[in-house]
Amino acid sequence: MIQIREATLEDIPFITSIFRDTITHVNSKHYSEKQIKVWASGASEIEKWEERIKNSYFIVAELNETIVGFAYLSNGNCFDGLFIHKDYLRRGFGTKLMRIIESKAISTGYEIIKSDVSITALPLFENQYYIVERKQKKNYKGLSFENYIVYKEL
């Protein structure tokens, strides 16, 4: 059974390892080697992960006490991150985390949730009725990344 709970600072090594591995093995289908290297390097920015856990609604999905994915919501209705371990894809875990993130935004009083989603994650968001506002090129550490600005009415 998958269990969802709020993240703690002790989870950071597991969260950053999933972040690095998922980008390297899953997002690599849609982004260049250079983009993947730069994006995955965000795993080492421990202070930023600490800030995210402290200041966002940050949840992890556990299967048999092993973290297999995570998601976080910033500023009340910005769905800023959703990552599932490469060995646990297409089992509904991404959708489950998404539902809990959306419920949090609803319970805080928001009627719209928004996100910037990767090319890789777009099929999941479209499957869950998010609308693409536009495609954009986002600058990260000097490289341009194509992704999509999406939103959903809650």
Ligand X SMILES: CC(C)(COP(=O)(O)OP(=O)(O)OC[C@H]1O[C@@H](n2cnc3c(N)ncnc32)[C@H](O)[C@@H]1OP(=O)(O)O)[C@@H](O)C(=O)NCCC(=O)NCCS
Residues 129-148: x/- map of binding to ligand X (CB under 6 A)? --------------------
> Candidates 41-49, 51-59, 79-87, 101-109 — which segment interacts with ligand X by CB under 6 A?
79-87
State which H helix or E strand residue 149 sits in: strand 143-153
Q: Determine how many CB atoms are found less than 10 A away from the CB of residue 63.
A: 15
Q: Determine how many CB atoms are found less than 10 A away from the CB of residue 68.
A: 21
> Candidates 33-41, 46-54, 77-85, 101-109 — which segment interacts with ligand X by CB under 6 A?
77-85
Query: Per CB under 6 A, does 59 bind ligand X?
Result: no
Q: What angle do CA 24, 30, 36 make, to 5 degrees?
A: 35
- Chain positions contacting ligand X, by CB under 6 A: 22, 26-27, 82-84, 89-95, 117-118, 120-121, 123-124, 127
